Amino acid sequence: MFRWYRETGPAERRTFWACLGGWSLDALDVQMFSLAIPALIATFGLSRSDAGLIGAVTLVAAAFGGWIGGFLSDRLGRVRALQITVLWFAVSTFLAAFAQSFTQLLALKLLQGIGFGAEWAAGAVLMAEAIRPEHRGKALGAVQGGWAIGWGAAVLLSTLAFSCLEPEVAWRALFACGLAPALFILYLRRSVPEPARPRTAAAVPAHAGPLAIFSPGLRRATVIGALLGLGAHGGFHALFTWLPTYLSAERGTSVLGTGLYLAIIIASFGLGCLVAGGLVDRLGRRRTVALFAGGCMALVVLYLLVPIDGTVLLLLGAPLGFCAAGIPASLAALFSELFPSGLRGTGMGFCYNAGRLASAALPLGVGLLSEICGLGPAIGLFALAAYGLVLLAVGLLPDARSGGALLPQTPR
């Protein structure tokens, strides 16, 4: 599974570890929110709809942040853009620890979302250009697995904080830990080289702006990519924004019990990213995404819409986390091959994060619908709709084992 790593050079390896670290720390900061929802509801007297609104605002901000971050990586350079975005989301997460009202928390989560979306765009395009094409899918899948590392770290910190501190203090301590990623910038500055731009980058005018990805030669790729991003993010956020609350409020699990359920899902998520990366290079982007989307739909039905006992719920967490990983782990390799180098950051940032913009309604929708039909059915219905959209978008994509352009590489 890791033979490809031994075939890479020193610069490729340093870039890999930098992007893996950045994405893991990004996940650490972002996943803290879903784990702190019950405490935030108690501290500020929020409804589930209010909590869903915070999640929605974060995703909307991430959508714009990703587009901006991708554009900056095309203009300022991949490594420099990554440094800026890591610092942004670290500081904004830290400041959220001192929020004194719902409005303040909402504003700070908006700022965090901008950095969150921008970091993925800068890091993904850096990896796509630094790693040789035959290993691109495996490397990007492994980097996406860093989400499981950060997610797991967030669960561990959350379990520790809420076991040792009062809830109204614990969530603040948790958010304060979000400043740690700022130290990561030192490694980026010293160890990671800026990838050389290929000559094809000259085909894109230097003055091309963020809207150049909607030019006639690239418009279809951009729209299909955005639909795919919508389904991928919609399914993930509908499921995992509310899952800790579902386990504790609907299934009655304790703090330690919820941590165990999530640990199984997270470990399986990391494995799913690694396997998906290998399948992307073997089966092609389209088949891999469709395979995982179909698995997600079947497991959502079993996990949330069919009455099962706690033991079966625990066992199903492994395949659920595994399948949920496969779609996002495949997107970076797919999107990187739809756009020319001079617009690659902008295109990847838009497609991946445009999905967040539309999917921002899903956490809010789950919160609203849960007050009518219960949290489990609300999560399940929204997740099924999102993964169904993934299958639809995948049907519009070409099947390629090593990528390739969906449309001409040079915008007209």
Which among 364, 389, 359, 394 has a CA at the least distance from the CA of 63? 359
For 142, residues 6+ apart whose C-beta sits below 8 A from its C-beta are: 16, 20, 273, 274, 277
Query: Does residue 338 contact residue 350 with C-beta atoms inside 8 Å?
Result: no
As to burial, measured by CB atoms within 10 angstroms (0-12 exposed, 13-18 middle, 19+ buried), residue 128 is buried
Reduce the DSSP state of residue 360 to 3 states and report it.
Answer: coil
pTM of the full predicted structure?
0.68
Which among 331, 395, 363 has a CA at the least distance from the CA of 66? 331
CB burial of 168-199 (b: ≥16 within 10 Å; e: otherwise) equals: eebbbbbbbbbbebbebbeebeeebeebeeee
Q: Which two tokens stand for residue 126?
A: 């850096």
Return per-residue pLDDT of the chain as tens, 412 residues. Answer: 567 778 888 888 888 888 888 788 778 877 888 788 888 888 888 887 788 788 778 878 887 888 788 888 888 888 888 888 888 888 888 998 999 999 999 999 899 888 878 887 888 888 877 888 777 778 888 887 787 788 888 888 888 888 888 888 999 998 888 787 777 766 666 677 777 665 544 444 445 677 778 888 788 888 888 888 888 888 887 777 777 777 776 766 665 666 677 778 788 888 888 888 888 878 887 888 899 999 999 988 887 777 777 677 777 778 888 888 888 888 877 787 777 777 887 888 888 877 777 666 777 788 788 888 888 888 888 889 889 999 998 888 754 444 444 343 333 3
As to burial, measured by CB atoms within 10 angstroms (0-12 exposed, 13-18 middle, 19+ buried), residue 407 is middle
Q: Give the whole-angstrom CA distance, residue 47 versus residue 100.
A: 17
**Domains with residue ranges and CATH for the chain:** 10-181+230-394 (1.20.1250.20)
Q: Give the whole-angstrom CA distance, residue 280 versus residue 287.
A: 8
For 98, residues 6+ apart whose C-beta sits below 8 A from its C-beta are: 172
Dihedral (CA of 158, 164, 167, 171) sign: negative
Q: Which residue has the tokens 């702190």?
A: 36
Which among 266, 32, 13 has a CA at the least distance from the CA of 149? 266
Cβ–Cβ contacts within 10 Å for residue 318, how many? 17
Which among 256, 230, 261, 236 has a CA at the least distance from the CA of 246? 261
- DSSP annotation of 193 reads P
Query: Does residue 349 contact residue 335 with C-beta atoms inside 8 Å?
Result: no
